[in-house]
């Protein structure tokens, strides 16, 4: 059976937690044997630790204005046991938090990741120029990072690859109107490519309208394999190994 790693899923979100055992079993049956649980608040982090999941954590850019100050010490204290710091970054599309506050916490999380020698998971929407400028100034060159749920332009993708970061694609790449994103998938360096579900969001094309889950990521992998003219086995093996490498997992 082909094996896969879901590089970004909110397994301890309130939508998913009640069905977590069933969801993990369906993932196992689909060949998804590694899932990175993204914790965005102290409670999702507590649940991730309690369920012995593979956890990353930070306050999202959406929530830093409201929760950033009180939650940062929680993630800081847990950082040694996390596989990555994030998702952190900038979101100028929704702008639920003031841009300056988003930028301040991005810097704080970059410095935390540097101190703890952990990779960073970035969320970025309509803010790539500021993200690149801040990270270039505040994060060591060549330090590991993942641009999660990438939906930017080819030029922005090239900036990600140029910095040596990983680019993670979600179910959005399967959507009928995502031709430009499939072009990114087609030319992405295989050694810098990850696949995610962003569970419970962004179910792939044939599951749209349903709550997403890690077992659905195989459809995304099939799409990426098709546009690259590669086998599903090749895509699964490469992206799974990339996740193992960047998150420091054991095979």
Q: How many domains does the chain have?
A: 1
List, for residues 150-193, the tens digit of each pLDDT value. 999 999 999 999 999 999 999 999 999 999 999 999 999 999 99
Domain span at residue 36 reads: 4-247
- How far apart (Å, rounded) are the C-alpha atoms in residues 82 and 241? 19
Query: What pLDDT score does 1 carry?
Result: 83
| Cβ burial, residue 196 (10 Å; 0-12/13-18/19+) | buried
Share of the chain above pLDDT 70, in %: 100
Alpha helices in the chain (DSSP H): 20-29, 42-50, 64-78, 99-116, 128-138, 154-162, 179-187, 217-228, 232-247
User: Quick one: pLDDT band at residue 251, thresholds 50, 70, 90?
Assistant: confident
| pLDDT tens per residue across span 33-54 | 999 999 999 999 999 999 999 9
Task: Kindly state the percentage of the chain with pLDDT values over 90.
Answer: 97
Q: What is the pLDDT of residues 51-61, one digit of tens each?
A: 999 999 999 99
Report the SS3 class of residue 217.
helix
DSSP letter string over 123-157? EEES-HHHHHHHHHHHS-TT--EEETT----HHHH
| pTM tops 0.85, yes or no | yes
The CATH number of residue 218's host domain is 3.20.20.140
Q: 113-147, pLDDT tens digit by residue?
A: 999 999 999 999 999 999 999 999 999 999 999 99
């Amino acid at each position: 059976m082909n094996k896969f790693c879901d590089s970004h899923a909110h397994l301890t979100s309130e939508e998913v937690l009640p069905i977590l055992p069933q969801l993990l079993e369906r993932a196992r049956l689909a060949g998804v044997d590694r899932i990175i649980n993204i914790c965005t608040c102290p409670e999702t982090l507590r649940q991730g630790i309690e369920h012995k999941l593979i956890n990353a954590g930070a306050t999202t850019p959406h929530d830093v204005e409201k929760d950033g100050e009180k939650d940062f010490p929680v993630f800081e204290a847990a950082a040694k046991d996390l596989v990555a710091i994030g998702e952190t970054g900038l979101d100028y599309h929704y702008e639920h938090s003031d841009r300056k506050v988003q930028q301040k916490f991005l810097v704080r999380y970059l410095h935390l990741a540097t101190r703890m020698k952990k990779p960073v998971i970035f969320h970025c929407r309509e803010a790539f120029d500021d993200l690149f400028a801040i990270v270039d100034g505040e994060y060591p060159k060549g330090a590991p990072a993942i641009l999660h749920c990438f939906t930017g332009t080819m030029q922005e993708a090239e900036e990600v690859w140029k910095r040596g970061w990983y680019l993670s694609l979600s179910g959005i790449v399967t959507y009928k109107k995502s031709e430009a994103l499939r072009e990114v998938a087609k030319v992405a360096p295989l050694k810098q490519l990850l696949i995610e579900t962003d569970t419970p969001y962004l179910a792939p094309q044939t599951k749209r309208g349903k709550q997403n889950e890690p077992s659905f990521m195989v459809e995304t992998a099939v799409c990426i394999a098709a546009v690259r003219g590669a086998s599903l086995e090749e895509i699964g093996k490469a992206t799974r190994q990339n996740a193992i490498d960047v998150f420091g997992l054991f095979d």
